[in-house]
Amino acid sequence: MARKIGFDTEKYLKAQVAKILERVSYFDKLYLEFGGKLCSDNHAYRVLPGYETDTKVKMLKRLGKQMEIVHCISAKDIEAGKVRGDSRLTYENQILKDISDLAEYGLPISAVVITRFSGELGALKFKQKLENRGLRVYTKYEIKDYPRDLDAVLSEEGYGKPEWVPTEGRIVVVTAPGPGSGKMGFAMSQIYQERKRGLASGFAKFETFPIWNIELDHPVNIAYEAATADIGDYNVVDPFHLAAYGITSISYNRDVENFSILKRMIERMVGPEDPMAKYRSPTDMGVNMAKEGIVDDEVCRDAARQEIVRRFFRYTLDFVEGNTGRETIRRMDEIMAKAKVRPEDRAVVVPAREAAEEAERRRNEGKGHRGIYCGAAIELWIGDERLIVKGKNSPLMHAESAAILNAVKAIAGLPDGVHVIDPRVIDAMIGLKRAFGRTASSLDVKEVLDALAASSVTDERAGRCVEVLGRLKDSEMHTTHLMNNGDEAPLKQLGINVTTDARIPLPT
């Protein structure tokens, strides 16, 4: 069955580009603070079915040659080795990847700004690496008592101190690998210096979520809270917008908390008739037109509810691995309750747990391995037929491997009992593992896919299975136990939305 569509990307793009061009018409130059991932917005892809992962790139390309991109990164985040939760890349490696990805789209980075810099060695090393690759790199020092001491901020020792970054585009997109990277501080510093040079630069914010003109408790907006539960973001009614216009609009806590001081800052930088002085709320600063693309609200609601459950399992995994704390789990429990969803609302969760239980019951039939019983399940659509396939671990392969193998056989129209991997290939792979000193013979997903590819040389049925691997994209999968990298990485590369109970694989 084709994926249900709830969002029209083309309709959205037309509205969004028009809104940005309208905003830039008020200024000589517009600094557009960009929230979220620039190249591949998988969160939006999942909660707004029909949204294309490269939508933001398409939008930037439509803005044409008048647009350029500046990347910000905090020296403190470089020093701390901060990692993005979705990509598992450090912030500096995420920037390097973004630079490479954007170049492939024909959107080169104009400059990189290292913010909150105070001589950190890691930041200096990263600066050197970027400069060696031909990039312009600037540093921006911390301002004491920023942003509360406006006299200090709006002075030659504040916004006037950092080296001015020359930009040629009329639209300067300011992006970063994550929150707290100093995007707004950089933009306001540039505006402060350019206003003194006689250039009427301005500021606006682009963030897809939360969507300001749908209700506070719409699942799509709650899904944003789920995505940022680890940093404590939450949605609020914009009190400034409500007071100014009597209109309910949705913002989030950090924007609302910072608006009063930002408003005072703007009032001291520009005259009362300036377009920036007309910003009466965080909503006014934004240019988000995402609602224009929603063509089936119920489809988006359902997709967002499923994303909330996926996030629940993501944080469960992060907690077990020591990457987040109990406060995130507590917050996520509240978000689940607000959205009225349970872990078991994810269709593959119960079947995966049942597969683990079945493995234990069938331990005398060769299921399970060394007293550990794991299960996995994948939801497939073959035509209009919904099918759940399961996998159980064994001495031969992991539960995830068995589930993937069963899934591609089902898609290829092969009977469940057909063996598509040549036993000689399996023996050779096990021998190779032992040569590397690995005692576990059970094959993970990567190893099973390698074995399937090798078998396809001589077995037409294995070849059919390899050919249909691409049809696993966007499938839903759940496993009961912690996965190793040989399981998790290829599943993600196949585009499978995989979650886990994150049980520790200990013998029973």
Query: Quick check: is 352 in a domain?
Result: yes
Query: Quick check: is 39 in a domain?
Result: yes
Considering its fold, how many domains does the chain have in total? 3
Do 223 and 326 fall into the same domain? no
Whether the predicted pLDDT of 507 surpasses 80? no
Do 84 and 28 fall into the same domain? yes
Do 431 and 467 fall into the same domain? yes
Do 288 and 322 fall into the same domain? no
d(CA 155, CA 192): 9
Do 238 and 311 fall into the same domain? no
Q: Which two tokens stand for residue 441?
A: 């013979």
Whether the predicted pLDDT of 416 surpasses 80? yes
Do 330 and 228 fall into the same domain? no
Contact 344, 260 (CB under 8 A): no
* DSSP-assigned states of every residue in 26-89: TSSEEEEEE-S-SS--HHHHHHSBTB-TTHHHHHHHHHGGGEEEEEEEEHHHHHHT-B-TTT--
Do 116 and 213 fall into the same domain? yes
Confidence of residue 219 (pLDDT cuts 50, 70, 90): very high
Q: Last residue of a domain, which of 276, 293, 310?
A: 293
Neighbours of 435 (CB within 10 A): 8
Q: Give the pLDDT confidence of 265-323 residue by residue, as tens digits.
A: 999 999 999 999 999 999 999 999 999 999 999 999 999 999 999 999 999 999 999 98
Q: Which two tokens stand for residue 27?
A: 């200024």
Residue 483 DSSP class: P
* 182 or 508, higher pLDDT: 182
Whether the predicted pLDDT of 87 surpasses 80? no
Q: Which two tokens stand for residue 1?
A: 């069955």
Confidence of residue 35 (pLDDT cuts 50, 70, 90): confident
Query: Quick check: is 2 in a domain?
Result: no
Contact 225, 235 (CB under 8 A): yes
Q: Give the pLDDT confidence of 323-374 residue by residue, as tens digits.
A: 899 999 999 999 999 999 999 999 999 999 999 999 999 999 989 899 999 9
Q: Last residue of a domain, which of 342, 377, 409?
A: 342
Q: What is the per-residue pLDDT for 508? A: 56
Q: What is the per-residue pLDDT for 2? A: 62
Q: How far are the Cα atoms of 201, 342, 411, 499 from residue 313, in angstroms, in the given order?
A: 44, 11, 27, 6
Q: Which two tokens stand for residue 155?
A: 């002075």
What is residue 110's three-state secondary structure?
Answer: strand
Do 279 and 405 fall into the same domain? no
Q: Which two tokens stand for residue 351?
A: 């079947």
Cα 373 from chain centre = 32
What mean pLDDT do residues 458-472 have? 97
What mean pLDDT do residues 413-438 have? 91
CATH number at residue 59: 3.10.630.10
Q: Give the pLDDT confidence of 93-143 residue by residue, as tens digits.
A: 999 999 999 999 999 889 999 999 999 999 999 999 999 999 999 999 988
Q: Last residue of a domain, which of 342, 372, 406?
A: 342
CATH number at residue 495: 3.40.140.40
Question: Edge-to-edge strand order for the sheet containing 67-74?
Answer: 137-141, 109-117, 67-74, 171-175, 29-34, 201-206
Question: Kind of pairing, strands 201-206 and 29-34?
Answer: parallel
Do 54 and 71 fall into the same domain? yes
Do 251 and 330 fall into the same domain? no
Do 325 and 463 fall into the same domain? no
Q: What is the per-residue pLDDT for 363? A: 92
* DSSP-assigned states of every residue in 288-303: --GGGGBS-HHHHHHH
3-state SS of 228-240 is CCCCCCCEEECHH
Q: Which two tokens stand for residue 249?
A: 């609009």
Amino acid at 243: A
Do 321 and 373 fall into the same domain? no
Domain enclosing residue 328, as ranges = 297-342
Query: Quick check: is 1 in a domain?
Result: no
